[in-house]
C-alpha cells in the first residue's frame, strides 16, 4: 500500500498541534523559579486548580476512551453484539455516587486520593503501599491500551509493532513532560474531538465502500443479533452488566488518581461534579458509535472476503482503514487512533508521577524536583512500554484491559470506602498489614469468582470489594486504631 503525501501532512499537522498546545500550556504556567515545592507540585499535577468544566469533561472522556474503544469495541461488536454498552449504562449510577458522595470528601483535601485516605489514621508506609498497588495495576491496564493503539500505526506506516509502540510512547512522553497536567488536558480536548470525528467518518465510509446504505448494513447486522444489548428471554447477563458497571466505575473513576486528578484540579467543585456525572452519557454515546462501526464492518465482510493477513478481530478496523479509506481521510483516522492512545497514555503518566512524588517518595530533595519529575516520567513510560510489548502476544484486547483492572479495583475501593466514606465503622490504621490483608482478600475474592464459581467477570469488583471490606472490618475490630 502506497500512501499519498496528504496522509502524512494530516498526521504531521496533528502532532505539531499537540506540541503547540503543550508549549502554550507550559508558558501559561507560573515560572517555577518563583514557586516553592508544594506550588510546583500543584502546577505540574493539578494544573494549579485551573481546569474549566469543558476541559474536565473532555479530559475524562479522552482518558477513558483509549484505542481500546477505537479498535477494541468495534472488534467486540464484530465478534459478538452490543452487550458491552451495559457497563456504560451502569456507569451513570456509579458516577452519580462519585459526584454526590466521593468528590466532596476529596476536593481540596490533598494532592492524591491516597494521601486523603491516610490523613487521619494512616501511616506513611500504608499510604505508600496503597499507591504502589494502584501504580502496578494501572501500568498493567494502560499497557494493554498502549499496544492496541499501536496496531493501526504499524499498519499505516508498515512498521514493526514494537517500533510503532516506541514511536507513540516517545511522542507522548515529550509533550507530557513539557506542560504537565495542563498540557495533558488541553491536548485531551483536541483528541476527544478527533477520535469521535473518526468514528463518525467510519459510519460514512463503510456504507460507501460496501455500495449499500447505512440502514441496509445495520439491518443485516441486526438480523444476525449484532446490535442486541439485552436478551429479554434471559435478562440476567444484562442485569450483571449494569451492576458490574456501577461498582467498576466507582472504582475506576472515583478512586483512580488518573480520573480523580481531573476532578480535583477543576477550579470549582460543582463544575467537577457535573463533569463526572454528564460524562457518563457521553460515554454511552461514544460506546454506541464504535459498536456501530463493528456491526457495519461485520456486514461489510459478509459480502467481501475476510483478509487472510488479519489475525483476529482486534486488527480488522485497522486493516479496513488502511485498505479502503481515501487519501487524507486515512491519515485523519490514523491521527484519531493516535489521539485515542495518547490521551490515555499522557494522563496515566502524569497521574502515576503524582503518586510517585507525593505518596511513594515524598521525602526527596525539594531542590531537585525537576530532575525527579524527569526520572519518574522516564521510568513509568518505560514500564508502560514493557507491558504493551507483553500484551502484543495476546488477542481480545478490550476484555483483557478491563479484566486487569477488575482484579484490584474492588480492593482499592474497599480501602477508600473504609477510610473516607464509612470511617465511622472502620477504626483502624492504614498500615502495610491492613493494606496487604485487604488486597490479599480482595484478590482471593476475584479468584473465587473466576476460577471456582466461574461467574461473569463483571462481578470481579463485587467479590473483591466485599471480601476486602470484610477483612478490614475484622481488622478494625481486632486491632483498633488508638491515638498516641
Residue 150 has pLDDT above 70, yes or no: yes
Task: Write the pLDDT tens digit of every residue in 219-240.
Answer: 999 999 999 988 767 777 788 8
Residue 64 belongs to some domain of the structure: yes
C-alpha cell at 382: 518505560
Residue 241 belongs to some domain of the structure: yes
Residue 322 belongs to some domain of the structure: yes
Q: What percent of the chain has pLDDT over 90?
A: 42
pLDDT band per the 50, 70, 90 thresholds, residue 120: confident
Task: Write the pLDDT tens digit of every residue in 414-432.
Answer: 999 999 999 999 999 999 9
Task: Write the pLDDT tens digit of every residue in 324-369.
Answer: 888 888 888 888 777 777 777 888 888 899 999 999 998 787 778 7
CB-CB neighbours of 33 under 10 Å: 6
Spatial CA neighbour of 335 closest among 25, 11, 74: 11
Question: Can you give the CATH number for the domain in which 378 is found?
Answer: 1.20.1730.10
Residue 10 has pLDDT above 60, yes or no: yes
How far are the Cα atoms of 182, 288, 309, 327, 456 from residue 94, in angstroms, in the given order? 26, 19, 41, 42, 19
Residue 460 belongs to some domain of the structure: no
Residue 71 belongs to some domain of the structure: yes
The angle subtended at Cα 307 by Cα 302 and Cα 311, nearest 5°, is: 110
Please state the domain count of the chain. 1
Highest mean pLDDT (candidates 40-44, 431-435, 452-456, 458-462): 431-435
Residue 95 belongs to some domain of the structure: yes
Q: Determine if residue 49 is left, alpha or beta; phi over 0 gives left, psi from -120 to 50 gives alpha, anything else beta.
A: left
Three-state DSSP class for residue 351: helix
Structural domain including 348 reads 5-409
| pTM of the predicted protein model | 0.87
Residue 251 belongs to some domain of the structure: yes
Backbone phi and psi for residue 266, each to the nearest 5 degrees, phi listed first: -70, 145
C-alpha cell at 373: 519529575
C-alpha cell at 151: 496496531
How large is the average pLDDT for residues 84-92? 88
Report pLDDT for 66.
67
- pLDDT top residue among 189 and 89: 89
C-alpha cell at 349: 503518566
Residue 398 has pLDDT above 50, yes or no: no
Asked if 121 and 430 count as a contact pair (C-beta separation under 8 A), the reply is yes
Helix pair 53-64, 329-355: axis angle to 10 deg: 100
Task: Write the pLDDT tens digit of every residue in 264-309.
Answer: 999 999 999 999 999 999 999 999 999 999 999 999 999 888 777 7
Residue 466 belongs to some domain of the structure: no
pLDDT band per the 50, 70, 90 thresholds, residue 37: low
Residue 198 has pLDDT above 70, yes or no: yes
97-123 burial, b at 16+ Cβ within 10 Å, e below that, comes to bbbeebbeebbeebbbbbbbbbeebbb
Q: Give 266's DSSP letter.
A: B
Q: Alpha-carbon distance 74 to 455, whole Å?
A: 25
Amino acid at each position: 500500500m502506497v500512501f499519498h503525501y496528504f496522509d502524512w501532512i494530516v498526521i504531521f499537522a496533528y502532532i505539531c498541534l499537540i506540541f503547540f498546545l503543550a508549549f502554550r500550556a507550559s508558558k501559561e504556567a507560573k515560572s517555577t523559579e518563583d514557586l516553592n515545592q508544594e506550588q510546583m507540585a500543584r502546577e505540574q499535577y493539578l494544573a494549579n486548580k485551573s481546569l474549566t468544566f469543558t476541559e474536565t469533561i473532555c479530559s475524562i472522556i479522552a482518558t477513558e476512551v483509549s484505542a481500546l474503544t477505537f479498535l477494541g469495541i468495534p472488534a467486540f461488536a464484530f465478534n459478538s453484539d452490543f452487550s458491552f454498552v451495559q457497563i456504560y449504562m451502569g456507569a451513570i449510577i456509579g458516577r452519580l455516587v462519585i459526584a454526590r458522595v466521593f468528590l466532596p470528601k476529596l476536593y481540596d483535601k490533598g494532592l492524591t486520593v491516597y494521601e486523603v485516605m491516610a490523613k487521619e489514621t494512616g501511616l506513611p508506609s500504608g499510604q505508600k503501599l496503597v499507591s504502589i498497588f494502584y501504580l502496578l495495576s494501572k501500568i498493567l491496564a494502560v499497557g494493554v491500551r498502549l499496544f492496541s493503539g499501536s496496531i493501526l500505526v504499524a499498519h499505516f506506516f508498515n512498521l514493526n509493532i514494537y517500533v510503532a509502540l516506541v514511536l507513540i510512547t516517545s511522542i507522548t512522553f515529550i509533550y507530557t513532560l513539557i506542560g504537565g497536567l495542563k498540557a495533558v488536558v488541553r491536548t485531551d480536548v483536541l483528541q476527544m474531538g478527533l477520535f469521535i470525528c473518526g468514528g463518525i467518518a467510519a459510519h460514512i465510509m463503510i456504507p460507501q465502500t460496501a455500495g449499500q446504505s447505512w440502514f441496509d448494513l445495520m439491518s443485516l447486522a441486526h438480523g444476525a443479533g449484532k446490535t442486541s444489548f439485552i436478551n429479554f428471554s434471559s435478562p440476567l447477563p444484562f442485569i450483571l452488566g449494569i451492576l458490574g458497571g456501577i461498582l467498576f466505575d466507582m472504582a475506576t473513576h472515583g478512586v483512580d488518581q488518573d480520573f480523580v486528578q481531573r476532578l480535583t484540579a477543576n477550579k470549582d467543585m460543582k463544575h467537577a461534579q457535573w463533569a463526572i456525572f454528564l460524562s457518563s452519557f457521553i460515554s454511552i454515546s461514544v460506546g454506541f458509535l464504535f459498536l456501530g462501526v463493528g456491526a457495519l464492518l461485520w456486514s461489510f465482510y459478509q459480502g467481501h472476503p475476510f483478509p487472510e493477513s488479519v489475525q483476529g478481530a482486534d486488527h480488522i478496523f485497522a486493516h479496513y482503514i488502511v485498505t479502503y479509506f481515501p487519501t487524507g481521510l486515512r491519515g485523519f483516522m490514523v491521527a484519531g487512533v493516535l489521539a485515542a492512545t495518547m490521551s490515555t497514555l499522557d494522563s496515566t503518566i502524569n497521574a502515576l508521577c503524582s503518586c510517585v512524588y507525593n505518596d511513594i517518595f515524598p521525602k526527596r530533595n525539594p531542590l531537585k524536583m525537576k530532575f525527579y519529575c524527569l526520572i519518574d516520567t522516564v521510568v513509568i513510560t518505560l514500564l508502560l512500554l514493557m507491558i504493551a510489548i507483553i500484551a502484543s502476544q495476546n488477542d481480545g484486547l478490550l476484555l483483557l484491559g478491563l479484566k486487569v483492572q477488575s482484579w484490584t479495583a474492588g480492593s482499592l475501593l474497599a480501602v477508600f470506602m473504609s477510610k473516607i466514606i464509612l470511617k465511622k465503622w472502620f477504626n483502624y490504621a492504614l498500615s502495610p498489614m491492613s493494606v496487604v490483608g485487604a488486597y490479599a482478600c480482595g484478590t482471593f475474592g476475584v479468584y473465587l469468582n473466576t476460577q471456582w464459581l466461574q461467574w461473569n467477570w463483571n462481578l470481579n469488583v463485587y467479590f473483591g470489594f466485599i471480601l476486602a471490606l470484610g477483612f478490614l472490618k475484622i481488622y478494625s475490630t481486632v486491632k483498633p486504631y488508638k491515638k498516641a
